[in-house]
Amino acid sequence: MPIKGLDAAKKQTEQIVGRITGVMSERTVTEILIIGAGYASTLTPVDTSTLINSQYRRVENGPNGVRGMVGYTAAYAAAVNAAKGTLAGQPRPGNRGTYWAPDGEPDFLRKGFERDGKSDIEAAVRRGMKL
């Protein structure tokens, strides 16, 4: 005796999985990137605004799921992010303020996601992946 509604249940399950792996995931990853990049922006040191204005984000939907990336196109971005910050507070040459001012911190990109934006990102994931 065949089970009634099995085909409909399978179809609904496929639709839900499709939503989760598609639109819901893309939207959630995009929101995570916006949140983390926003927090990273507040920690990015500003001198001429070249670094902060070179920030980008990219969302890709591939065979292994949705992947997001935030980065900076300025050639020196990786060096600034990896700097130790030992000059923090010391005057810059040419009366251009102090190093790492006003709120800049070393490792600003990671801190924007993992430290400062962590609770907001967790809330975005809960909200975005809710069925």
Give the integer Cα–Cα distance in Å for 108 and 111: 5
Q: What is the pTM of this model?
A: 0.80
Give the integer Cα–Cα distance in Å for 44 and 130: 32
Contact 15, 23 (CB under 8 A): no
Region class of 98: left (phi > 0), else alpha (psi between -120 and 50), else beta:
beta
Q: Which two tokens stand for residue 92?
A: 């810059």
Task: Identify the three-state secondary structure at position 27.
Answer: helix
Please give the mean pLDDT across all residues of the chain.
Answer: 88
Tell me the pLDDT tens digit for each residue of 80-116: 999 888 888 888 888 777 877 778 889 999 999 999 9
